[in-house]
């Protein structure tokens, strides 16, 4: 591992209150992840962020802000995991979790799984559309926590995600500055889907360009999701609950 990477990694994580995850071993894994991501990015659109001053805070630290909110050994589904965020960073710092990544783009899922396999990270992946997979009993209401980051507004995301959450589990939507506003417009739909908003945890993500607003929206699953949900994606997008 290069000293330059470790110094930058440690500084960003410390600035964001993530000191518990700072160690040479963890930093080395993140440096490896960075190299693999950028290599793949040469032939596949994984990320628009290609410099350490952006990758470390905006991908790695941003993803890890949710790590201490996940129960030990929880089953976790990352809906719309894309190029591997937050599932790959979480697999590095929380090896106790049972992580599954879901995305509709098969080539991105192949990248995520092959990266995890090469790095010795314990995850599983599924290439499917969330609104279709949610009808499968092997996945419906099977997860302690469902996560989603940078996928859709909450009034669309709730219908894609809550069917996967088991009763008593949580949906954690990782949002930006408009998080509280999105929760307000999604309240009716959340209730129809068997959810109940618990809290919105707002904070500043410290980056090289200054602080950026973030929000974690925590929604508890209190009742089964009615069988008619989720609808086809076109209907979800056109007429959010």
Q: How confident is the model at residue 1 (pLDDT cuts 50, 70, 90)?
A: confident
> What is the per-residue burial (b if ≥16 Cβ within 10 Å, else e) of 51-79?
ebeebbbbbbbbbbbbbeebeeebbbbbb
Name the residue with tokens 């009716």.
Answer: 188
pLDDT in tens, 57-70: 999 999 999 999 99
DSSP 229: -
- Contact between residue 201 and residue 216 where contact means Cβ atoms under 8 Å apart: yes
Q: At what angle do helices 3-15 and 24-40 cross, to 10 degrees?
A: 100
Distance (Å) of CA 215 to CA 66, 83, 92, 149:
10, 21, 22, 11
**Where is average pLDDT lowest: 49-58, 110-119, 186-195, 230-239?**
49-58
- Check residue 48 and give its pLDDT: 85
Question: Closest by alpha carbon to 102, among 66, 76, 135?
Answer: 76
Helix H or strand E encompassing 184: helix 179-192
Cβ-Cβ contacts under 8 Å for 43 (sequence gap 6 or more): none
**CA 20 to centroid of chain Cα atoms:** 20
């Amino acid at each position: 591992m290069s000293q330059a990477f470790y110094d930058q990694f440690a500084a960003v994580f410390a600035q964001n209150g993530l000191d518990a995850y700072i160690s040479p071993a963890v930093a080395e894994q993140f440096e490896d992840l960075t190299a693999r991501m950028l290599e793949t990015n040469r032939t596949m659109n994984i990320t628009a962020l290609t410099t350490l001053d952006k990758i470390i805070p905006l991908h790695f630290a941003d993803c890890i802000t949710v790590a201490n909110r996940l129960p030990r050994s929880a089953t976790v589904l990352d809906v719309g995991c894309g190029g591997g965020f937050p599932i790959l960073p979480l697999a590095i710092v929380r090896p106790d979790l049972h992580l599954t990544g879901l995305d509709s783009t098969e080539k991105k899922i192949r990248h995520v799984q092959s990266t995890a396999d090469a790095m010795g990270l314990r995850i599983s992946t599924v290439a499917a559309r969330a609104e279709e997979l949610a009808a499968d009993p092997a996945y419906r209401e099977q997860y302690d926590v469902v996560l989603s980051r940078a996928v859709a507004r909450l009034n669309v995301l709730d219908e894609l995600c809550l069917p996967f959450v088991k009763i008593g589990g949580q949906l954690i939507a990782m949002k930006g500055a408009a998080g509280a506003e999105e929760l307000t417009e999604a309240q009716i739909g959340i209730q129809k889907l068997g959810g109940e908003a618990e809290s919105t945890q707002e904070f500043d993500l410290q980056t090289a360009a200054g602080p950026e607003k973030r929000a974690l929206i925590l929604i508890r699953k209190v009742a089964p999701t009615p069988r008619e949900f989720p609808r086809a994606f076109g209907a979800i997008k056109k007429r959010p609950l």
